[in-house]
Structure 1
Amino acid sequence: MGQYYHAYIAPYRGHYGRGADTNRFFPSLGNHDYHKSPTADPYLAYFQLPGNGRYYDFVKGSVHFFVLNSDVHEPDGVTEHSKQARWLKEKLKESNDPFNVVYFHHAPYSSGHHGPTKRMQWPFREWGASVVLSGHDHTYERLEVRGLPYIINGLGGKNLRYGFPKIYPGSRVRFNKEHGALLVEANEIFMCLRFYSEDGDLIDTLKLQARS
């Protein structure tokens, strides 16, 4: 992790560089973080994050980010009525920021290999989310479910890319030909999310207006 991202992590105690003066790296727990520890101790020891480190929120400019733990090992639960979900609902209610971005690992809706993660199909739109970001499936996909955009970007890491065995209702854009990254830009009025392939091709664009 530090080899590639040490310039964004604070405090950084590794051997690949001096790290950042202010933390700019805000990860979410995934299933691989539990492979060697049922409590994700190495992850929690490595990063110094807000809140309990497993789920938390932070604000950057006009965007309020809400980071969840979608793994079944989460002690505060991963269902719509869990302690974690109640925390999110209250935090979204309190937010006065133009955009509320919720992100976590397992995709609630997906046409990819893993398919939908039903336990994470929370009423995000009703609670005040602007968009939901996730990964897990090694694809790029944008869906719209009950009026809310969901974006999966799992093309930033492992070489293995997944197919789309069963197209989920509401799927708008799908891409798995090569790796890529999602660029998000926002001001007080608009947020623009663009997915680029590693060759620099613009694959998808989503433009959102600030919450009224």
Structure 2
Amino acid sequence: MVGSAVKSRSPRLRADASRNRERIVAAAREAFVEHGAEVPLDEVARRAGVGNATLYRHFADRAELVREVVLSVMARITERTEAAVAQEPDAFEALRRFVFESAEDRVGALCPMLSEAFDGNDPAIFAARDRLNRSIEDIMDRARTSGQLRTDIAVGDLMVAITQLTRPLPGKACMDMDRFVHRHLQIFLDGLRAPARSALPGAAVTLEDLQQQR
């Protein structure tokens, strides 16, 4: 009887542990966007509704948690980008969908990748970044080929702009800025449409350019 009781509890324990891990990653994603990757891990645990001991059971240190958040966000954005390409017949509509869904998936949580302390050569990170880069390049190439996207921007330009437009402004008085995000993203999208109404200073920014700034 004792053996059967242990067996019956094990799936429940594993499910609880999986949910805790997901809550921690989701809480860290939001905290990184709001406060940066150096946010106290106590705050991440509080937001996740778990104790510090539970957080450290899943993630030995900050670097491990950052890695998991980055992998999670890249996977979510890549999957939704690939779906947009497959499901939207209009190339610019697919791009628009990517922009809004990247905002929802908290693309700003990828900013730790620009830190010197981040291991960009980690095989899993490298593969996920390559897949994400290819998926965004694909969606932008389609929009360019259709004549709807201006030709003087690159993936890095797009990612930086989305990140900046979806990060909260500093100070408690500006905490409710989410209600402006979709409005400002639409203004940005209008500026991406071809034909271009102005010449952009500097050169188009790639993801590789961003990595070299570390």
Q: Same fold per TM (> 0.5)?
A: no
- Identify, as 1 or 2, the structure richer in helix: 2
TM-score normalized with structure 2 length:
0.31
TM-score normalized with structure 1 length:
0.32
- Identify, as 1 or 2, the structure richer in strand: 1
Which one has a bigger Cα radius of gyration? 2
